[in-house]
Amino acid sequence: MTDIEHPPLPQVYILKKAIEIYLPLAYGSGRIPDVVESRIAPILASADSEVIKPEWFEPAEKDGRAVYRLRLGQVAYPHMKLNVEEFPDGTGYLLLADAHDTHLMAPETSPDAKFLSELRKNNAALVEKIHAAWTQAGLPTFRNYFCAAMERRVREKYPQTK
């Protein structure tokens, strides 16, 4: 990543809660793959009050903002990720489930076209379920970030409004 200053990462309890919600939605009552278990082991072993460690992730950058990717997969697609991404305004981080499947395309005449289309559709539905559950749990999702930003704007514009 570049030398841009990024905000401090959130505490581990946020990531633990996100994983706790993600895994049952992604794997149902099925077994979590060993590779996923090994990726989350250091996270689950950390104290809730610790700060998330970048080495647990595949680091990246998007539009100059920090992105940390944790490949947790799901039953039918091992490349799905839990991302910790810097807020658009650079003041903190939000959680995103990333299907990481936009490159999965095949010509309509290909025998793979229908399968890949269904996989992308199912991934999108799963991403939506995960985001909804995270939002419901009060985790830092884009929806929660956006709602808080709008509330701040209203309070600034109309200070008498509570």
- In three-state form (DSSP H/G/I as H, E/B as E, the rest C), the secondary structure along the chain is CCCCCCCCCCEHHHHHHHHHHHHHHHHCCCCCCHHHHHHHHHHHCCCCCCECCHHHCEEEEECCEEEEEEECCECCECCCEEEEEECCCCCCEEEEEECCCCCCCCCCCCCCHHHHHHHHHHHHHHHHHHHHHHHHCCCCCHHHHHHHHHHHHHHHHCCCCC
Question: pLDDT tier at 133 (50, 70, 90 boundaries)?
Answer: very high
Say if residue 1's pLDDT is above 90.
no
Q: Are 89 and 71 in contact (CB under 8 A)?
A: no
The pLDDT score that the predictor gives to residue 89 is 78
Distance from C-alpha of 72 to C-alpha of 127, rounded to nearest angstrom: 12
Digit-coded pLDDT (tens) for 97-127: 999 766 666 567 776 667 777 888 999 999 9
Q: Are 60 and 81 in contact (CB under 8 A)?
A: no
Digit-coded pLDDT (tens) for 10-26: 999 999 999 999 999 99
